[in-house]
Amino acid sequence: MGRMCFFKTVTLWLWGGFLYYIIELIWRGYSHPSMFIVGGICFLLIGGINNFFPWELGLFWQALTGAVMITVVELLSGMVINLRLGLNVWDYSDMPLNIMGQVCLPFTVAWIALAVVAVFVDDYLRWKLYGEEKPRYTLSFRIGK
């Protein structure tokens, strides 16, 4: 990984971590430092969607893919942060369709909206800060054109 690529990755991770931490403060009134790390990782993964799929991939599919990515990261990080380390940062045990209290269907659906925001913010930052391709979107429910 080149120096510029490393700097860009760290910068985007910082943006994602900061933004997610702020969202948690607004939504729940508190957060935990681990959420900065997890939020940054999710932001990088969602930002990478356009590196693996064409721009013509509909925004719906990008958001759905992002929500699945967030859910997987949340499950894996929850298994470490909450279950292994016992930090009890979150617990979805009372939510319907949960897995080990770490993820649940209602929040997976909520992550769709969060993923849309992440797609827009990541694409804008990459375009403005790093001269990457100008974002363009389609709302299509089809995969591709």
Say if residues 67 and 116 touch (Cβ distance below 8 Å): no
* pLDDT the model gives residue 138: 86
- Bridge partners of 98, per DSSP, are 104
Q: What 3-state DSSP class applies to 98?
A: strand
Say if residues 36 and 10 touch (Cβ distance below 8 Å): no
Cα 95 to Cα 88: distance, rounded to the nearest angstrom: 16
Q: Which residue has the tokens 């933004």?
A: 19
Share of the chain above pLDDT 70, in %: 96
Tens of pLDDT, residues 58-103: 899 999 999 999 999 999 999 999 999 999 999 999 999 999 999 9
Query: What pTM did the predictor assign?
Result: 0.93
Tens of pLDDT, residues 36-47: 999 999 999 999
Q: Which amino acid is at 121?
A: V
